Chains A and B, each alone.
Chain A
Amino acid sequence: MSQRALNDGSQTDAALRTIDVRAGYGSIEILHGISLAVGTGEIVAIVGPNGAGKSTLLKVMSATLAPSAGSVELLNRPLAEYDRRELARTLAIVAQENSVAFQFTVLEVVLMGRAPHLGPWRFETSRDLEIARGALGHFDLISLAAHPIHELSGGERKRVFLARAMAQEPRVALLDEPTAFLDMKHVTEIFTRFRELCSNRGLAVVATLHDLNAAAMYADRVLLMKNGSSVAVGPPDEVLTVEALRDVYETDVYIGRNPVNGAITVLPASRV
């Protein structure tokens, strides 16, 4: 855990920054002013109960939803200034659910991540293939490269879309519930992989997580949200406290420490 970043959110060279962002759908405001700066090489987890606005915040960060007030900056440039293809070369998104309408192989889906780097008439070069190969290898998918995507299990499919996102060679990755449908082994592996990408390539990762234990173990910092507002931002040990979680989740929790790696662990404290 040596590379845990020391960003406090106020640094000037953040990879991704939201400044007092308000957003919603129609006349309903979901986010009531969220400020967050994500540094290069940092993993930030967004946690909070259902309906807290985690996914909406992710949509604002990915330019899918325009904020009604406030602004978003990607690599110190307003998000609105990016054109789509440029954005796709800088920012990768992995949605919670992914579907593919027609039969494509795993490799074909991962190669789709190269699209923003290629013109409309060009075939992928050997360099594109090398990048796709690397992304497949990263997520333990090499042996599945030629398989039709719809024959894969939910967890394998998830990894394919994570690999596709990495094939985009982004500077920032937005992951919506990346651990859903994944077993323990793959959760660990995926975060290990992203940690490598963060320290080797300076990738910045923002992930919404339901799993507080995963957030505590793998994130450098945690944004705790409730009802579209930020409750606390900071290192997991400081944000995930008994008082804060009881308040946000409206349920009693027990917080302990994992004796192996020292990460805090969160359990519901209700007596069955």
Chain B
Amino acid sequence: MTSIEKSAVLEPETAHRFAADLPDFEGAHLTSRKAALTLALLGAALLVVAIAATSFGSVHINLIRALADSSSSDSAILYGVRIPRVLMAIVIGAVLASVGAALQALVRNPLAEGGILGISGGGALGAIIALILASRVGAQDVIVPVAGFAAALLSTFAVYRTALVAGRIEPFTLLLVGVIFNAFWGAAIMIINSVVNFYYAHSILFWLMGSLEAPSYREVAIIAITGTVGFVILMSRARDMNLLSLGDEAAAELGVEVDLVRRTIFVATSIMIGAAVSVSGIISFVGLIVPHMLRLAFGSDYRLLLPASIIGGAAFMVAADLAARVIIAPAEVPVGAITALCGGPFFIYLLRRQETRAFS
């Protein structure tokens, strides 16, 4: 009873009466137990799709032989092609979904993701320019991703500075500025596309549609490291992200340093997505679909939503990439086309839902 007596607003007899009605508010808020169970469930789902994606592909391999005999061609495919590809899908999906969730808190709107805020478009443009310029110099493997990463950061900075009005960021302005920059980068890519030769045009398509083709372990490691650093930063702001959904003033009145939190989210997400775009191009809608599905299923508390987006995004991406590889095997559909195919209708559904809610 001591804890009750200390509380400022509670009459002990009232508390007792309601305690009998509703023992512990089951399901009304996030508990550590619910968070752990949800993450375990999503982890199991990820494991299943990852095993499936390792087993199936354009070429049939025997997993048992691959594991038993390291000199077999099955083993070469497993370790040289399948596993790095699945790992790449995992880290890219995790980054895209968690960044989407964080950016949605940043602009207080479920329609935000890296693509819509112009970050990935800028990265793709930088990578494409580097690709064309570096083709004469060589060392494209290094120059192109580095240029993509740098351009993504620059683009973020440009969006941020443009949206800054009187030293403050208004969520709606930020969203609009992001959309405009994204369209602008897209137009620049199209102009480049129309003046270069066929070989480059194909590579440009790769950046625009996104692909997980032929990744190296080194690339996987880079995304994993930048992703982890960004994720830890985002998680330390998870509660603040919850409070931001009350609006800037209300969040500040509850102790949130709103501008600092905005900047932190911005920096963390642009590093994460810059690294992702620099190796896989623009894979759209993952950052939109995954957080929204998870919100519908498990609620909006960012302390669960962020880690759930990591695992759910990974699982979604692995499944989408598996589909991209097997639908027209032995040829391949760009994985970005698969996610966009799922995402387009979903985006419209979200928009419609928002409208009906606004008018009701």
Contacts and interface: CB of A to CB of B under 8 A. Distances in A.
Contact of A116 (B18, B244, B255): B255
Contacts of B250: 93, 95, 98
Nearest to B110: A102
A99 interface: yes
B252 interface: yes
A169 B238 contact: no
B31 A64 contact: no
B29 A111 contact: yes
Contact of A120 (B29, B238, B296, B300): B238
Given A88-B253, A95-B250, A101-B108, A107 B4 contact: no
B52 interface: no
B239 to A, nearest CB: 6
A112 B3 contact: no
Interface string B293-333: 00110011101000000000000000000000000000000
Contact of A108 (B29, B109, B253, B257): B29
B32 interface: yes
**From DSSP, what is the main secondary structure of chain A's interface residues?**
helix
Interface string A70-89: 00000000000000111111
A137 B249 contact: no
Interface in A89-103: 89, 92-93, 95, 98-103
Contact of A131 (B7, B109, B299): B7
A90 B94 CA distance: 39
A246 B10 CA distance: 42
Contacts of A104: 242, 245, 299-301
Contact of B9 (A100, A116, A166): A166
Given A102-B295, A108-B29, A133 B253 contact: no
A127 B28 contact: no
Interface string B95-111: 00000000010001110
A5 interface: no
Contacts of B242: 104, 108, 112, 115
Given A134-B14, A197-B9, A64 B253 contact: yes
B256 interface: yes
Interface stretch (A46-54, A138-146, A235-243, A251-259): A138-146
Nearest to B245: A101
B246 A115 contact: no
Contact of B19 (A103, A108, A124, A133): A133
B30 A98 contact: no
B299 to A, nearest CB: 7
Contacts of A166: 8-9
Nearest to A103: B300
Contacts of A87: 255
B9 A145 contact: no
A106 interface: yes
A228 interface: no
Contacts of B74: none
B11 A134 contact: yes
A168 interface: yes
Nearest to B10: A134
Nearest to A119: B239
A84 B22 CA distance: 34
A40 interface: no
B262 interface: no
Nearest to A62: B253
Contacts of B24: 129
Nearest to A167: B9
Given A123-B303, A133-B18, A134-B15, A169 B9 contact: yes
A229 to B, nearest CB: 26
Interface string B218-250: 000000000000000001111110111111011
A257 B22 CA distance: 43
A131 B10 contact: yes
Nearest to B104: A102
A38 interface: no
Contacts of B245: 100-102, 104
Contacts of A126: 3
A135 interface: yes
A105 B29 contact: yes
A148 B184 CA distance: 39
Interface in B195-231: none
A272 B288 CA distance: 57
A142 B18 contact: yes
A201 B7 CA distance: 10
Given A98-B250, A137-B14, A103 B7 contact: no
B345 interface: no
B60 interface: no
A108 B15 contact: no
A135 B9 contact: yes
A109 B11 CA distance: 21
Interface of B: 3-4, 6-11, 14-15, 17-19, 21-22, 24-25, 27-32, 104, 108-110, 235-240, 242-247, 249-250, 252-257, 295-296, 299-301, 303, 357
11 contacts: A64-B253, A101-B110, A103-B295, A116-B254, A120-B237, A127-B3, A129-B25, A134-B15, A136-B18, A137-B15, A138-B14
Given A88-B255, A130-B10, 17 more contacts: A92-B253, A98-B250, A102-B104, A102-B300, A105-B299, A107-B25, A108-B29, A112-B242, A123-B32, A134-B4, A135-B10, A137-B18, A145-B28, A146-B28, A166-B8, A169-B7, A169-B9
A-B pairs with lowest CB-CB distance, top 8: A134-B10, A85-B255, A88-B255, A146-B28, A116-B255, A102-B300, A169-B8, A101-B245
